[in-house]
Amino acid sequence: MIVLGIDTSGYTNAVGIVDGDKVLADFAYEAKTDSLQRIVADIDATLKEAGLALSDVEGIGVGLGPGSWTGIRVGVTVGKMLAFASGKPVCGVPTLEVLAFTARDGSRPICSIIKVGAGDAVYAACYHPEGDFLDRIGDYYVGDVKGLTGMLTGSTVLAGKDVKEYARVIRKESGTNVKAVEAAPGGAVVACLAAQRFARGEKDDVLSLTPLYLKESTAKAFVNKYKRGHA
């Protein structure tokens, strides 16, 4: 199944295409302030690099965040528009899950981390790898880095941007054995995770699909909706 993956939760437009286990294209285009203006052109450029037209795409995956409030809306909105216009299925993928999939290291649990604006606040989620699938462990986390220590048990991989500093803080705070793996959301990983769900006959409703905004006051509202990393 040919799946197009999009993630605009950060300062790049990540666009990738997979066909089954094969990555056909995977690019990250810089878009610090003009993600909306560039995303359609970036998708078109990625399709051309893969030698495909949009009509060849059989499904669309979109990164749901958390991340940049405006950036997430761009990717989700464009993905929904493409799915609605083409009649193709769409699947939302939490960006924390994308980071965890990128940083898989055998059977070690993975804690994905995304910085929240200024200060030391972060979004985070822990996952347990089961082959090519991920199970989320517990709830999403919003808080300071030190607070993550209560989520980590045993040897854990930290995945995300600037996680070496987070690893240093966690080791100092609790002595937990953590391995830092720098990771960024990739369009091909979004496509791969969406393809897993499509293969199980799952998809999201194109009209009701919404970004995953995590704030301390609203995080619990998403717990049931995205209870499992591959549900």
Residue with more model confidence, 149 or 185: 185
Residues 91 and 189 in one domain: yes
Name the average pLDDT for the chain. Answer: 89
Residue 207 falls within a domain, yes or no?
yes
Could you tell me the CA-to-CA distances from 140 to 121, 124, 150 in Å, in that order? 13, 6, 13
State the average pLDDT over residues 5-32: 94
The pLDDT score that the predictor gives to residue 118 is: 65
Residue with more model confidence, 201 or 70: 201
Helix (H, G, I), strand (E, B), or coil: what is residue 142? strand
Residue 158 falls within a domain, yes or no?
yes
Q: What is the CATH number of the domain that holds 61?
A: 3.30.420.40
Is the pTM here over 0.75, yes or no?
yes
| CB neighbour list of residue 208: distance below 8 Å, 6 or more residues apart | none
The pLDDT score that the predictor gives to residue 209 is: 95
Residue 222 falls within a domain, yes or no?
no
Residue 50 falls within a domain, yes or no?
yes
**Number of folded domains that form the chain:** 2
The pLDDT confidence band at residue 230, using thresholds 50, 70 and 90, is very low
Residue 219 falls within a domain, yes or no?
no
Q: What percent of the chain has pLDDT over 90?
A: 68
The pLDDT score that the predictor gives to residue 177 is: 87
CA nearest to 60, candidates 27, 86, 41, 25: 86
Residues 90 and 15 in one domain: yes
Residues 131 and 72 in one domain: no
Q: What is the CATH number of the domain that holds 117?
A: 3.30.420
CA nearest to 157, candidates 212, 227, 99, 115: 99
Residues 139 and 177 in one domain: yes
Residues 78 and 113 in one domain: no
Residue 224 falls within a domain, yes or no?
no
Q: What percent of the chain has pLDDT over 70?
A: 92
Residue 54 falls within a domain, yes or no?
yes
The pLDDT score that the predictor gives to residue 199 is: 96
Classify the C-alpha dihedral 50-52-57-61 as positive or negative. positive
Residues 27 and 60 in one domain: yes
Q: What is the pLDDT of residues 131-160, one digit of tens each?
A: 889 999 999 999 988 888 888 877 899 999
Whether residue 19 is predicted with pLDDT greater than 50 in this model: the reply is: yes
Residues 171 and 196 in one domain: no
Whether residue 229 is predicted with pLDDT greater than 60 in this model: the reply is: no
Residues 61 and 109 in one domain: no
Q: Which domain holds residue 155?
A: 96-182
Residues 19 and 50 in one domain: yes
Residue with more model confidence, 70 or 45: 45
Residues 22 and 122 in one domain: no
The pLDDT confidence band at residue 69, using thresholds 50, 70 and 90, is confident
Whether residue 219 is predicted with pLDDT greater than 80 in this model: the reply is: no
Residues 56 and 167 in one domain: no
